[in-house]
A and B are shown apart, each in its own frame.
Chain A
Amino acid sequence: QVQLVQSGAEVTKPGASVKVSCKTSGYTFTGYHIHWVRQAPGQGLEWVGSVNPYSGGTEYAQKFRGRIILTRDTSISTAYMELTGLRSDDTATYYCATEGGVPSVPYFDYWGQGTLVTVSS
């Protein structure tokens, strides 16, 4: 069965960087984009960006451009999200999710368990 297992919670300081991993199994890793979605405490869902595991191509929400780097390691079926220049309002649970549907109208069908990133001085 499809599984996405994310790395553990992180506590970090303003201005620092954080890198979250998303290890996948149960499907062909290079066949489906991986998306990242975040959720601030008590708030709704926010799309962050996506990576094409086959090509390494990325797409980022404009508000994160310049601060976010999405990568993947096909040898271990794992995607990564690195966020730099952290601010207190980056405190959130970050989810990875696989893309379903066709590329022009994707949905997110399998999700990781989430990784809480806390930014605090």
Chain B
Amino acid sequence: SYVLTQPPSVSVAPGQTARLTCGGSNIESKSVNWYRQTPGQAPVLVLCDNSDRPSGIPERFSGSNSGNTATLTISRVEAGDEAAYYCQVWESTSDHPGVFGGGTKLTVL
């Protein structure tokens, strides 16, 4: 089945830019979605279809997808951005079509 690889942790100072990566074979051919999850809460969709922001998600959140890496970029990071972030794709031909990355814990220093 398809595998998505995320670094376990990323740290960034407030006001700086965080880049969270999601690696997968030829991932650029797929539509990547991103979720944010804080402890004890359900995940929240922050980007869909690589770079579209759902209603209510700040413009500071943007996405790209090229080659074997998709990237969630958070500009002007705030303390409230500290959370785990998961990428996700759908592999319709797989016996396990719903695929999540292992998640990245973003720490705001």
Chain A interface residues toward B at CB < 8 A: 35, 37, 44-47, 50, 59, 61-63, 95, 97, 100-101, 104-109, 111-114
Given A95-B43, A109-B45, A44 and B100 contact (CB-CB distance below 8 Å): yes
B29 shortest CB reach to chain A, Å = 11
Given A44-B86, A44-B103, A95-B42, A109 and B96 contact (CB-CB distance below 8 Å): no
Given A47-B96, A111-B43, A105 and B101 contact (CB-CB distance below 8 Å): no
Docked-complex contact B103 and A45, CB < 8 angstroms: yes
B98 beta carbon closer than 8 Å to chain A: yes
Docked-complex contact A109 and B42, CB < 8 angstroms: no
Interface residues of B in 46-81 (CB under 8 A from A): 48-49, 54
- Give A33 to B13 CA distance when docked, in angstroms: 39
Digit string of B75-101 for contact with A (CB within 8 Å is 1, else 0)? Answer: 000000000001010101001111111
Please indicate the chain B residues that have their CB under 8 angstroms from the CB of A114 in the complex: 42
